[in-house]
Amino acid sequence: MTHTQHRHRHDTQNQPSHATTSNARLKAVGGPFDCGLSAICGLEPVRYQYLKDNPLGLPCDIDRVGVVAQDLLDVLPDAVVGGEDGYLRVNHDAILFTLVNAVRQLKAQNDALTARLDEIQITIQ
């Protein structure tokens, strides 16, 4: 399948991203992304609707779940992007990969606890 056959779009304004270009030949990797569990624990998900007659014309009759970008700035600034219109936007990719790191951290903690439990069980026997 060629590049033009792939359906993709760049998320510009409240459109869900389904696929993004991710090819090593196109990237200059700047280092690891290490945000994880502590950032996830600091998130404050909320239920909301966009305000009626908002200046961006966003539909106000849909119940949504998400975060408030201003609150996210203190917890996970990599997940906040400023728009040319002066409004903040959330980069959900940053949240996704923070979750990946959080799962890895929890697995490491679980592995350590399991190993410790195994040691204790051997000592008891």
| pLDDT tens profile 22-64 | 899 999 999 999 999 999 999 999 999 999 999 999 999 999 9
Q: Is residue 27 part of a domain?
A: no
User: H-type helices in 1-91, by residue range?
Assistant: 37-42, 69-75
Among candidate residues 55, 62, 46, the one with its CA nearest the CA of residue 86:
55
Tokens in use for 20?
């993004």
Q: Count the domains in the chain.
A: 1
Q: The domain containing residue 43 runs over which residues?
A: 34-124
CA atoms within 13 A on the CB side of 36: 13
Predicted TM-score (pTM) of this structure: 0.78
Q: Is residue 114 part of a domain?
A: yes
Q: Is residue 22 part of a domain?
A: no
Q: Is residue 67 part of a domain?
A: yes
